[in-house]
Structure 1
Amino acid sequence: MRKIIGWLLLGLGAFLLVTALLATLWVPAQLERTPLDVDTKTYLSGTAEKYNPTLGETEDLDVKATSTTQADADSSDDDVIVWVNTTCLVIDEGDVPECVEADEPLKRLVSVTTDVFATGRNDALAVNGKYRHPGAEEKEGLVNKFPFDTEKKDYPFWDGMLGAPATAEYVGTETLDGLETYKFHILLEEEPVDEIIAGTPGVYSQDKYIWVEPRTGGIVNQEQHEIRELEDGMLLLDLNLAFTDEQVEKSVAEAKDNKSQLNLVTKTVPVVAFVVGLLSVLVGAFLVFAGRKRSGA
């Protein structure tokens, strides 16, 4: 009986040691990939000073934005994920829905854009080639999230108005509702752009802060101040926009959950499996070989 238990412990120990090895070397590469079933909405709100061509002057407005992001699983694969993103910015007046038609009688639509792009499922960097949607511009750098295991360094982050990546500068660590985040800053000052509005060149400025949960690379908060002007200095849009309080709370809760699950499988499981597996092998070997010595004597 002693010998049988010994062999069972040896088998269990070997299994757990192999599990620990796989969880350390193979599992992270499988889990640290953006899932293909992403379908999220992000809510932002703020204020805007917007030029009204009908009045011939700027007006102060309360605004809100809804950004819908979906993964196109059919166009994605093991290494690359294709995204469809639609962002709608409306005047927050009356019982306005998330988005309205351009010809709505109350004229509450500020802008609506749709973008299709691809990124690496681990490093989050833009991917072009066969994944680029017909008619879409080529992108560089990060687009909608940061990589798994984000580092305390600067990253290139795509800016659609600029048509090029801007530098997301790492500026420090900040805790949001108990969650450690890395804070990044993007600053663009009076950059010339080919189209500030359709067919018209202009000047563009952006002052943006992004808070990132580093283990997963997910963005949990964002604040931005954007200015669009004509070349002669005429103001078209002065926009202040940030995640709503409810959105930050939801993003932090989801980031905590995703981080815990990832750490459980990639850190806790390997350590527990290795320790229990090693003890099982040692105890099993003692029972088997001590029994053999006793039989020989």
Structure 2
Amino acid sequence: MKRVVGTVLFGLGVLFVVLAVGLPLYVAPAVTKLPYDLKKSTSLVEAKNATFLQVKSGTPTIHTSKDLRSTTIVVPQPILTQELQKEFSDKAVVWDVYSSTARIDNGEKISESSTEIALDRVSGVPVNWNGAWVNDGTKTNTKFAGQIYKFPFHTERRDYAFWDGELGATAPPAKFEAVDSVGGVEVYRFKQTIPWFKTVTDETSRAVLLSNFAKTAKTGDIWYRNTRTLWVEPVTGQFLNVREQREQEFRDDAGGKTTLLNADFQYTKETVDKSVVTAKENKTKVQLISLYAPIGLGVLGLILIVVGPLMMRRPSGYNPEHRESGYPV
């Protein structure tokens, strides 16, 4: 009976060792990818006491000391993703992203835009897809680059290229700053610092700004700067907090400066708390498959491989002649 049990234990030990090797090699890569069945998600950032430009009925007005809320809704597109799998080779997902900024006091919208983008399922960077676009009043095909909506699975302590809506792919990188904590979860903190630069101002916007805020000037341009801080859970690459300190000025040739935006946006507590819960769940799934389960199975397998043969051995001192001669064993 011991031989049978020992054989079974030895076989289980070999199986567990094989599983310990196979889980991180074959199963873990499947859970460290953006899923095809990802649910729609919403994130909110708010800016207190902001200064901003609002256009109503064609008339621009500068408001100060008002609170703003920006809403970003990510809607995965599984049907379009499936249709493009031949082109993506099972490596990308398509998302539609809807963004809007509104006043908190009366709900009036200040700006809105929509985006369609294809992201690499592991790195989170945009894939080379001609169907990507941005619509902020005019739909424009866009070649995205760098991190945008998340960081890679197993984010490293290094600098990453990060997309900016104004500079695009030429924006400075998001630089790794420090290991931090959000909601009890270890995160990596990155900061992208965009110094003042002159944006491309269309003639219609320039004319409106000159006629309302710089009547003695002949021309002018919109300048922009931003400091973006990102708190990233490194196993999943998920944002747990985001802060953007955005500023825009209209600078005219008469020396005048008009603040068009000065707002310090940051994730709401609700969004931070929800992100922490989701990150903890996803991190546990990834680590269970890629780390904890392989270690546990490997140790148990080795123990069984050692114990199994020991149980298959007959007791020491056993002599079949004893039984044949009638002496007790």
User: CA separation in 1, counterparts of 2:227 and 2:16?
Assistant: 51
Query: SS of the counterpart of 1:240?
Result: strand
Between 19-28 and 214-223, report the one with greater CA deviation: 19-28
CA-based RMSD of the aligned residues comes to 2.5
Equivalent in the alignment of 2:324: none
The code of the aligned residue for 1:112 comes to E
User: Retained in 2: the 8 A contact 1:211–1:222?
Assistant: yes
1:294/1:275 Cα in 2 relative to 1: closer, same or farther (>3 Å)? Answer: farther
Equivalent in the alignment of 1:179: 185
Equivalent in the alignment of 1:262: 286
User: CA separation in 1, counterparts of 2:202 and 2:100?
Assistant: 18
Equivalent in the alignment of 1:14: 14
1:197/1:148 Cα in 2 relative to 1: closer, same or farther (>3 Å)? Answer: farther
Q: Deviation at 1:289?
A: 4.7
User: CA separation in 1, counterparts of 2:73 and 2:101?
Assistant: 12
Report the TM-score, using the length of structure 1 for normalisation: 0.87
Stretches of structure 2 lacking an aligned partner (at least 5 in a row): 134-138, 207-220, 322-329
Equivalent in the alignment of 2:217: none
The code of the aligned residue for 2:132 comes to R
Matched positions, count = 285
Q: Deviation at 1:73?
A: 1.9
The code of the aligned residue for 1:126 comes to P
Equivalent in the alignment of 1:219: 239
Equivalent in the alignment of 2:103: 91
Say whether 1:64 aligns with 2:69.
yes
Q: 1:67-120: per-residue Cα shift (whole Å, max 9, x none)?
A: 1012222233531111110011111114x4xxxxxxxxxxx1101110111121
Equivalent in the alignment of 2:43: 42
Report the TM-score, using the length of structure 2 for normalisation: 0.79
Q: Deviation at 1:173?
A: 1.2
Matches within 5 A, 1:109-124: 109-124=109-124
Equivalent in the alignment of 1:236: 260
User: CA separation in 2, counterparts of 1:216 and 1:52?
Assistant: 38
1:132/1:263 Cα in 2 relative to 1: closer, same or farther (>3 Å)? Answer: same
Q: Deviation at 1:284?
A: 1.4
Say whether 1:286 aligns with 2:292.
no
User: CA separation in 2, counterparts of 1:82 and 1:198?
Assistant: 34
Q: Deviation at 1:177?
A: 2.2
Query: SS of the counterpart of 1:129?
Result: coil
Between 118-127 and 223-232, report the one with greater CA deviation: 223-232
Equivalent in the alignment of 2:209: none
User: Retained in 2: the 8 A contact 1:196–1:229?
Assistant: no
Equivalent in the alignment of 1:51: 53
User: CA separation in 2, counterparts of 1:259 and 1:26?
Assistant: 18
Query: SS of the counterpart of 2:163?
Result: strand
The code of the aligned residue for 2:112 comes to V
User: Retained in 2: the 8 A contact 1:141–1:155?
Assistant: yes
1:276/1:191 Cα in 2 relative to 1: closer, same or farther (>3 Å)? Answer: same
Q: 1:197-241: per-residue Cα shift (whole Å, max 9, x none)?
A: 976552111111110001110000011111122342432222221
Equivalent in the alignment of 1:163: 168
Q: 1:113-151: per-residue Cα shift (whole Å, max 9, x none)?
A: 101111211111121235635943001111100001111
Q: 1:236-290: per-residue Cα shift (whole Å, max 9, x none)?
A: 2222211011211121122122112211121110011011111111111222355
Equivalent in the alignment of 1:248: 272
Stretches of structure 1 lacking an aligned partner (at least 5 in a row): 97-107
Percentage of pairs with the same residue: 26
Equivalent in the alignment of 1:191: 197
Equivalent in the alignment of 1:100: none
Q: Deviation at 1:37?
A: 2.4
User: CA separation in 1, counterparts of 2:130 and 2:271?
Assistant: 34
Q: Which has the higher strand share?
A: 1
The code of the aligned residue for 2:62 comes to T
Between 47-56 and 150-159, report the one with greater CA deviation: 47-56
